[in-house]
Structure 1
Amino acid sequence: MIDKSATSFREVLSQIKDGSTIMIGGFGTAGQPAELIDGLLDLGIKDLTIVSNNAGNGDYGLAKLLKAGAVKKVICSFPRQSDSWVFDELYRAGKIELELVPQGNLACRIQAAGMGLGAVFTPTGYGTLLAEGKETRHIEGKDYVLEYPIHADFALIKAQQGDRWGNLVYRKSARNFGPIMAMAAKVTIAQVSEVVELGALDPEHIITPGIFVQHVVQVEPTSPLTSA
């Protein structure tokens, strides 16, 4: 019997070792798996490369992971905003690396990994510092930059509901990067608000099929910010 549901954060997160590359879902705090991130902190894992849309908000979630010194590199689109003081301080002090990727390119590169593509040509970034040292090509009157897929050892994502097979449905904008990150990682761990009986999810509403998910953990949100 296939049963990917788990009751212990430590059980599923203990697979993650120092130096891992981890994709973390979320658009800001919407859809960010804050409780899984807290679980990483409890395990004391270090030297992580994090792939995410943002580089943390306030002192919450991903920002807590950065503040703890667990992250050596961030690959993201929006490292700076009004509440990104943790990343700002670390970056200015030379304590963290940054690979800046335009948001469309970030999604495209993650999708490329999930679909097994070798690389993609995109017009975004052509002629800017972001294209320095990269292969370019002129195709049908337009200039493009060659970008490579972003793979990960693990993806930590958040969904509204899941079943024991790992099928997931999301809540509104909390969906964001979760589906493509699940496809691009070797192991996907999904925190859900509710684990439902097999067959309870409308097949038309399932966004992430269970084939892309290895673990489903039901959690109770620990902060009002995690309700999104």
Structure 2
Amino acid sequence: MKEKVWETFEQAVADIHDGATLIVGGFGLSGIPEKSIEALRNKGTKNLTIVSNNCGVDDFGLGLLLASKQIKKMIASYVGENKIFEQQFLNGELEVELTPQGTLAERIRAGGAGIPAFYTATGVGTPIAEGKEVRTFDGKEYLLERAIVGDFALVKAWKADKLGNLVYRKTARNFNPIAAMSGKITIAEVEEIVEVGELDPDEIHTPSVYVQRVVLGNNYKKRIERLTIKE
């Protein structure tokens, strides 16, 4: 297996094309691939469909792509921290598909596992069910939900080896492992790259078979999405 380490984020995202579907890891502002997002913003790729837990904040994370109007459609479970998102949606500039968080996670995971669709009870009898097939199993109704596969996945990990095995740290181990599975090309930005064999096999969260590119980042910002302090 050849090494997968790329020199710059600009090189790693260079072939992300207009109209691509991207699966982006992270939860709130924790574990987001911020350097890859910045490189994509600078590249100017347009009409993107982004699948992610949320859409960052106005000046950070996926909010940068919103501000530059590079996102055409957002598939997410929570969008409450971004005023630009609200404005673009109300103005008809942004298509939004809200998905319950557990369903979103399973749609991404199923895409990576090669499962085209699945049934879930979440959303039955709500607007989420509109236009979807409903079947009854053991007397209970379930919705058919389609899996999601991205043209690319952008993920953030703590460590990687040169073959692309990934280790996440704490809260970054949220949507990142399933996002890494579901991209046809997965780009992992990491804080440390080690030699092959230096990672204990038991600590690897994403095997290298799912990862095509690894890029080393630095100077990461520890942003808090909503700061709450005691009076």
Give the C-alpha shift of residue 225 in structure 1.
2.5
TM score, norm. by length of structure 1: 0.95
Partner of 2:197: 199
Output the CA distance in 2 between the equivalents of 1:4 and 1:73.
30
Partner of 1:140: 138
Preserved CA contact (<8 Å) 1:161 1:194: yes
Percentage of matched positions with identical amino acids: 48
Output the CA distance in 1 between the equivalents of 2:36 and 2:182.
18
Preserved CA contact (<8 Å) 1:56 1:87: no
Output the CA distance in 2 between the equivalents of 1:78 and 1:204.
33
Return the letter of the residue paired with 1:145: L
Output the CA distance in 2 between the equivalents of 1:121 and 1:130.
13
Return the letter of the residue paired with 2:111: A
Q: Tell me, what secondary structure is at the counterpart of 2:63?
A: helix
List, as ranges, runs of 4+ consecutive aligned residues in structure 1 with deviation greater than 3 Å. none
Output the CA distance in 1 between the equivalents of 2:131 and 2:170.
39
Output the CA distance in 1 between the equivalents of 2:219 and 2:132.
42
Preserved CA contact (<8 Å) 1:155 1:188: yes
Partner of 1:178: 176
Please point out which of 187, 190, 198 is paired with 1:189: 187
Farther-moved stretch of structure 1 (144-153 vs 49-58): 49-58
Output the CA distance in 2 between the equivalents of 1:105 and 1:25.
15
Return the letter of the residue paired with 1:197: E
Deviation string 1:133-187 (CA, Å, 9 cap, x unpaired) is 1100110121100001011000000000001110000010111111111111100
Partner of 1:66: 66
Partner of 1:4: 4
Does structure 1 residue 40 correspond to structure 2 residue 40? yes
Q: Tell me, what secondary structure is at the counterpart of 2:223?
A: helix
Farther-moved stretch of structure 1 (43-52 vs 84-93): 84-93
Preserved CA contact (<8 Å) 1:59 1:86: no
Partner of 1:30: 30
Output the CA distance in 2 between the equivalents of 1:185 and 1:207.
16
Output the CA distance in 1 between the equivalents of 2:148 and 2:41.
24
Partner of 1:215: 213
Q: Tell me, what secondary structure is at the counterpart of 2:144?
A: strand
Give the C-alpha shift of residue 223 in structure 1.
2.4
Output the CA distance in 2 between the equivalents of 1:162 and 1:213.
10
Give the C-alpha shift of residue 79 in structure 1.
1.5
Output the CA distance in 1 between the equivalents of 2:180 and 2:15.
16
TM score, norm. by length of structure 2: 0.94
Return the letter of the residue paired with 1:79: V
Partner of 2:93: 95
Structure 1: segments with no counterpart, 5+ residues: none
Partner of 2:148: 150
Give the C-alpha shift of residue 222 in structure 1.
4.4
Output the CA distance in 2 between the equivalents of 1:8 and 1:60.
20
Q: How many residues align?
A: 224
Partner of 1:75: 75
Deviation string 1:74-107 (CA, Å, 9 cap, x unpaired) is 0000022xx3111111111111000010000001
Q: Tell me, what secondary structure is at the counterpart of 1:107?
A: helix
Deviation string 1:87-136 (CA, Å, 9 cap, x unpaired) is 11111111100001000000111111111112100000001111011100
Output the CA distance in 1 between the equivalents of 2:68 and 2:27.
21
